[in-house]
Structure 1
Amino acid sequence: MFTQEGARPHLNNKSRWLVLACLTLGLSLIVLDETVVNTAFPILTADLGLDAYETEWIDSAYALTFASLLIFFGQLADRYGRKKFFLIGVAVFILASLGVALSDTSTGVILARALQGCGGAMILPTTLAIINTYYHGRDRAIAFTIWGGTIGGVAAVGPMVGAWLITFHSWHWAFAINVPFGLLVMVASYFCIPGSKSRVKRKGLDLTGAILITFALFAVVFAIIEGGRFGFYYQREPFTAGSMTWPTSFPPITLLFLAIGIASFLAFFFVEKSRLKQDKDVTLNFDLFRSRSFSAGNLVAFVVSLGEFGLLFTLPLFLELVGGYDLLQAGVILSAIALGALIAALTGSFVCQLMGAKRTLQLGLALEIIGIAGLGITLTSTSTGWEMAPWLVAYGVGIGYATGQLASIILSGVSGHDSSVAGAFQSTSRQLGAALGTAVLGTTLVIGLGSAAETLEAKGVPTGQAQEISQELQDSGGESISDLATEPGGVDLVQVATGTFTTASKSVAWVVVVAISAGLLVSFWIPKNAAREKQAG
């Protein structure tokens, strides 16, 4: 199935595309689940009678385990086998998805979602490592472009798939669909993907380092996710975990978690340096950062992820609350992003061969900026899907070019035996950026919705009522707009609310533009010929 060419393993012509198909299907499993789940949240919450805190933890449980375990599982995959961990990850993800689908309590759903995060943390870095190991020359450019296009395309199609499942079946199927899909991935991957692992053998498994980095990432991501709820300047409300309560009279618990996370990172750094000097196994080899492709690429990944998928955070809400589209119609409109990602997948190899990985990355980021800025300029409360489509297509092409080539650049400066952990670190950089970005974008939207009070007062609405309506808009993330129609003067109230939501959405778009523009500037630090050698074969 595969041959050795020099020191580098190569797949034969037939198997290389079967392997890539398996990897992208595995990647699709976790990307599709995340976007489908977001669509299912409102109905799941109502069906199980969950409060706001329980609903938040259904999402947070996945994000915390996924982000905190990426590097640990990446290290184990390099040591014990990437195919093995890919298959285990898919199996865990299937079982966890079935667990969510069959759960009828908040505790069951939250625990199963945490287990899904474990499975996802095994799948994602191994897909990158296998591509980095077996694909060279022109095939490498094609493989990474398809990998990046899969993320953008599937993320865009997810809301439509979720809406269809919920509309014609139930929220349970938003999770149960992963079972047959995952089994298909497992069977195909078992027969098609060759085994690979690091050939470098060091003494002892680095359990201390693994525990420290996992705990550090958990603490930092927890602080970022929960900062909006509990605050960073003062403790906004009590934090309860089991029988323990952290009262509002104490300093913010988020700062405690941040401090613990930073201390754990420092301890991890010194432990890894010490073990490396003794030629012992390490969880993360800090020598990787000597490669400018790796260090600069990860910085770009972090900065860009602050806003890259921010459009998918606010646009579905805009389409439903302001545009009046139902879930399925909104999903169809967002599929324009998938069309752009498909265009990128079909043209990415040619563009990369012509321009090189760095310039293709920069072209992709520029197209993302153009797409989002176009929406920021032209978006109105009467905008139609057709008017948004060109900007969404440009955004999708940009994601396809940028995401795949950034991964290629980061891994180009990494030796084969560190591929999984390097891919895991890239994914961790993205997860940290995305978590922080979601918090920033959510705050931007809420602040924008708060301006409704001033507009309502200018239209003669009593101050008390105006402030109450504005607060409801902020607390509900805009979902209270539909309730305003039943109040006296409802038409005018809805008009103000939709106008305010539109303005807030445009503000979110410009924050995203700033974040991606910053990533574009940082990308100039990447070496000119990054990934060119591996793409040259």
Structure 2
Amino acid sequence: MSEQHPSVTGDRRRWLGLVVISLAVALIIVDSTIVNVAIPSIIDDLDISSTQVQWVQESYTLVFAALLLVFGTLADQWGRRRMLIIGISIFALASIMAALAPTGEFLIFSRVIQGIGGAMILPTTLSLINATFRGRERGIAFAVWGSTIGGMAAVGPLLGGWLTTEYSWRWAFGINVPLGILIVVGALFAVTESKAAHPSRVDVVGAVLSVITSASLVFGLIEGRTYGWWLTADDLTIGDWTWPLTISPIPIVFAVTLVAGAAFIWWGLRRQRRGQSTMIAFSLFRLTSFRNGNIAALIVSLGEFGIILSLPLWMQNVLGYDALQTGYVLLALAIGSFGASGAAGAFGHRFAPVWIVRAGILFEIIGLVLVALVISSDTPWWQIVIGLFVYGFGVGLATAQLTGVVLVDVPVEQSGQASGTQSTARQFGSALGIAVLGTVLFTSLGSTLDTTLESTIPDAAAREQVVDLVVDSSGSAIPALEEKSPEAADAARDAFSDATRYAAFTAAGFLALGLLTTISLGSGRPREDEETGTPEPDTTAAPAV
């Protein structure tokens, strides 16, 4: 299949287009992190539970991950710039809905719509870069793209802290509207349309199966502690209907995940053998760099951003920081990430990209361990900053280079599918990371606090009431608990600190596993002739179908 793409020579507008594309990435990354520091204010204003706290994050991430493949494929066929503009428009409209949300349920619904818009944006930005730039310029473009992700992941909390403290948490969503308008105008002016020359029909069945697989898995991980991992925890009722089984619905949901996932793979391979279009370009997995790179990306993402859920809650509810102070502390991550982008540029020509990825993951592990070791109910801010800076430095090194490693051998005409697959691996890993680390945080918080309070509150029913209050409020009830029982409040702070430490160590463990998966990756250097810009044959993998 031939490819329609913009000229890669003599077009200065494409560098301005890269700025617009990076702003689009910044919009969705900032939004996914800006909410973290606003959560305590949202809890107070809308009176949402700890499960709803996770769903404010996960409803966005879940839909985002589930639809990346769909929109990555559609962007190749309908036009990548068109898909980008539609995605930005939907995202901005959903942001207005979120800013005006009167209840937690409506806020979660608005985040679902945001996830749809975000899923249109992210793979499209990658495929636009892949179609527009060649050779070393593509490496520079990916570095800018990746550095934007790393830096904005920490700028988001600072911006969210300022808006929440000075104005309202609602402005954490409202800020997306003027940014969205700016990006749409910039895309119309500076981003050239590109798409596949001969579009194929969309695999509707594959799309539905991919959504079911992703949605059921993340739902089970989030709701497992609420409904019970095996046996039903409490009476489950929806209106007048009561769950009739002793077994929890969670094992059934996981069974749906397995069946839908197996069916997705079977269906895709079947269509591929018939020469029909598929949601995932299964033939690309014959490329060693693409296959192993996606596995590494998924595992690394499990630990890379999930910890950002627990740290703002801990700093505000245990250390007593306000949203803006929390943002200032998390700014260390952004500074580290931006510093890493400069280091990667200086040493990128001396070391293979895969070694920069490994160094980045190692820095991330060290940073998280440093943070975990200093977490307590009275940790000074500067000790947190040191670990976050090291962690951010690692994020900046690893993010862009890993993207380049994954896509280095992918043909341009399949860049949308490949970008969607790579983005799905990362976002799916991120969704699982938030779900798993959120479960670790709140489950360990409940068990640790219950054990600690046994001597202070001997009555089991009264103790359970206090534990549920702290857990369901995600720790925001601790200041109010201080007035009634200082001892219980101190125990809650210590338990929340322990739970945050466990979450940090869990994230570091995922990253360590991700580091091991990079052993199987190649160098990640582009196989292109520098003079002609044509790809050299890939002798390590079967040709793509």
TM-score, scaled to structure 1: 0.90
SS of corresponding position for 2:8: strand
Quote the residue 2:164 is aligned against: 166
Mapped to 2, the partners of 1:478 and 1:53 lie a distance apart of 13
Q: Is residue 35 of structure 1 aligned with residue 33 of structure 2?
A: yes
Quote the residue 1:389 is aligned against: 385
SS of corresponding position for 2:202: coil
SS of corresponding position for 1:10: coil
Mapped to 1, the partners of 2:236 and 2:420 lie a distance apart of 31
The alpha-carbon deviation at position 178 of structure 1 amounts to 0.8
Mapped to 2, the partners of 1:508 and 1:99 lie a distance apart of 32
Q: Which has the larger displacement, 245-254 or 148-157? A: 245-254
Q: Deviations over 1:191-225 (max 9, x none)?
A: 111111224554x3322222222233223332233
Mapped to 1, the partners of 2:56 and 2:451 lie a distance apart of 35
Mapped to 1, the partners of 2:443 and 2:516 lie a distance apart of 28
Quote the residue 1:231 is aligned against: 228
Q: Is residue 266 of structure 1 aligned with residue 262 of structure 2?
A: yes
Q: Deviations over 1:276-305 (max 9, x none)?
A: 233222222211111111111111111112
* 2:525 aligned residue (524, 531, 534): 531
| Count of aligned positions | 528
Percent identity for Structure 1 against Structure 2: 36
Q: Is residue 356 of structure 1 aligned with residue 352 of structure 2?
A: yes
Q: Which has the larger displacement, 467-476 or 306-315? A: 467-476
Q: Is residue 335 of structure 1 aligned with residue 331 of structure 2?
A: yes
Quote the residue 1:175 is aligned against: 173
* Superposition pairs of residues 358-507 of structure 1, within 5 angstroms: 358-449=354-445, 450-457=447-454, 462=458, 464=460, 469-488=466-485, 490=486, 492-507=487-502
Q: Which has the larger displacement, 326-335 or 472-481? A: 472-481
State the AA in 2 paired with 1:114.
Answer: V
* Superposition pairs of residues 144-163 of structure 1, within 5 angstroms: 144-163=142-161
Mapped to 2, the partners of 1:209 and 1:407 lie a distance apart of 25
Mapped to 2, the partners of 1:240 and 1:418 lie a distance apart of 47
Quote the residue 2:543 is aligned against: none
Mapped to 2, the partners of 1:384 and 1:500 lie a distance apart of 18
CA gap 1:495/1:231 in 2 versus in 1, 3 angstroms: closer
Q: Is residue 512 of structure 1 aligned with residue 507 of structure 2?
A: yes
The alpha-carbon deviation at position 104 of structure 1 amounts to 2.9
* 1:315 aligned residue (311, 318, 341): 311
CA gap 1:177/1:535 in 2 versus in 1, 3 angstroms: farther
The alpha-carbon deviation at position 516 of structure 1 amounts to 0.4
Mapped to 2, the partners of 1:443 and 1:520 lie a distance apart of 23
SS of corresponding position for 2:168: coil
Q: Deviations over 1:299-323 (max 9, x none)?
A: 1111112211133122212222232
The alpha-carbon deviation at position 348 of structure 1 amounts to 1.9
Mapped to 2, the partners of 1:325 and 1:199 lie a distance apart of 54
Q: Deviations over 1:127-159 (max 9, x none)?
A: 111122222333233222222222222121212
CA gap 1:176/1:478 in 2 versus in 1, 3 angstroms: closer
SS of corresponding position for 1:451: helix
Mapped to 2, the partners of 1:173 and 1:210 lie a distance apart of 34
Question: CA RMSD for the aligned pairs?
Answer: 2.8
* Superposition pairs of residues 164-243 of structure 1, within 5 angstroms: 164-199=162-197, 201-202=199-200, 204-237=201-234
State the AA in 2 paired with 1:498.
Answer: R
Mapped to 2, the partners of 1:41 and 1:26 lie a distance apart of 24
- Does the 8 A contact of 2:302 with 2:429 survive in 1? yes
Mapped to 1, the partners of 2:192 and 2:467 lie a distance apart of 57
Q: Deviations over 1:356-411 (max 9, x none)?
A: 11001001001101111112223343322222222211111110111111111111
Q: Which has the larger displacement, 168-177 or 448-457? A: 448-457
Mapped to 1, the partners of 2:490 and 2:440 lie a distance apart of 21
Mapped to 1, the partners of 2:292 and 2:352 lie a distance apart of 16
Quote the residue 1:98 is aligned against: 96
* 1:134 aligned residue (132, 135, 146): 132
- Does the 8 A contact of 1:63 with 1:117 survive in 2? yes
Mapped to 2, the partners of 1:56 and 1:381 lie a distance apart of 23
State the AA in 1 paired with 2:398.
Answer: A
Q: Is residue 306 of structure 1 aligned with residue 291 of structure 2?
A: no
SS of corresponding position for 2:350: helix
Mapped to 2, the partners of 1:79 and 1:59 lie a distance apart of 30
Mapped to 1, the partners of 2:439 and 2:270 lie a distance apart of 41
CA gap 1:131/1:110 in 2 versus in 1, 3 angstroms: same
Q: Is residue 122 of structure 1 aligned with residue 115 of structure 2?
A: no
- Does the 8 A contact of 2:40 with 2:476 survive in 1? no
The alpha-carbon deviation at position 45 of structure 1 amounts to 4.4
Q: Deviations over 1:399-447 (max 9, x none)?
A: 0111111111111132112212212222222232223222332233234
State the AA in 1 paired with 2:508.
Answer: V
Q: Which has the larger displacement, 110-119 or 265-274? A: 265-274
The alpha-carbon deviation at position 463 of structure 1 amounts to 6.0
Mapped to 1, the partners of 2:90 and 2:324 lie a distance apart of 30
State the AA in 2 paired with 1:420.
Answer: G
CA gap 1:248/1:60 in 2 versus in 1, 3 angstroms: farther
State the AA in 1 paired with 2:204.
Answer: L
Mapped to 1, the partners of 2:420 and 2:82 lie a distance apart of 16
CA gap 1:7/1:326 in 2 versus in 1, 3 angstroms: closer
Mapped to 2, the partners of 1:105 and 1:453 lie a distance apart of 30
State the AA in 2 paired with 1:80.
Answer: W
The alpha-carbon deviation at position 90 of structure 1 amounts to 0.5
- Does the 8 A contact of 2:50 with 2:472 survive in 1? no
TM-score, scaled to structure 2: 0.89
SS of corresponding position for 1:515: helix
CA gap 1:439/1:108 in 2 versus in 1, 3 angstroms: closer
The alpha-carbon deviation at position 238 of structure 1 amounts to 5.4
Quote the residue 1:86 is aligned against: 84
Mapped to 1, the partners of 2:428 and 2:221 lie a distance apart of 9
Q: Which has the larger displacement, 218-227 or 122-131? A: 218-227
State the AA in 2 paired with 1:328.
Answer: L
* 2:64 aligned residue (60, 63, 66): 66
Quote the residue 1:521 is aligned against: 516
- Does the 8 A contact of 1:141 with 1:348 survive in 2? no
SS of corresponding position for 1:288: helix
Quote the residue 2:540 is aligned against: none
Mapped to 2, the partners of 1:468 and 1:121 lie a distance apart of 40
CA gap 1:26/1:526 in 2 versus in 1, 3 angstroms: same
Q: Is residue 112 of structure 1 aligned with residue 107 of structure 2?
A: no
Mapped to 1, the partners of 2:13 and 2:515 lie a distance apart of 36
* 2:322 aligned residue (326, 329, 342): 326
- Does the 8 A contact of 1:235 with 1:248 survive in 2? no
- Does the 8 A contact of 2:225 with 2:443 survive in 1? no
CA gap 1:341/1:352 in 2 versus in 1, 3 angstroms: same
Mapped to 2, the partners of 1:439 and 1:535 lie a distance apart of 44
Q: Deviations over 1:150-175 (max 9, x none)?
A: 22221212122112222222232221
SS of corresponding position for 1:205: coil
Q: Which has the larger displacement, 383-392 or 291-300? A: 383-392
Mapped to 2, the partners of 1:53 and 1:366 lie a distance apart of 32
- Does the 8 A contact of 1:146 with 1:400 survive in 2? no
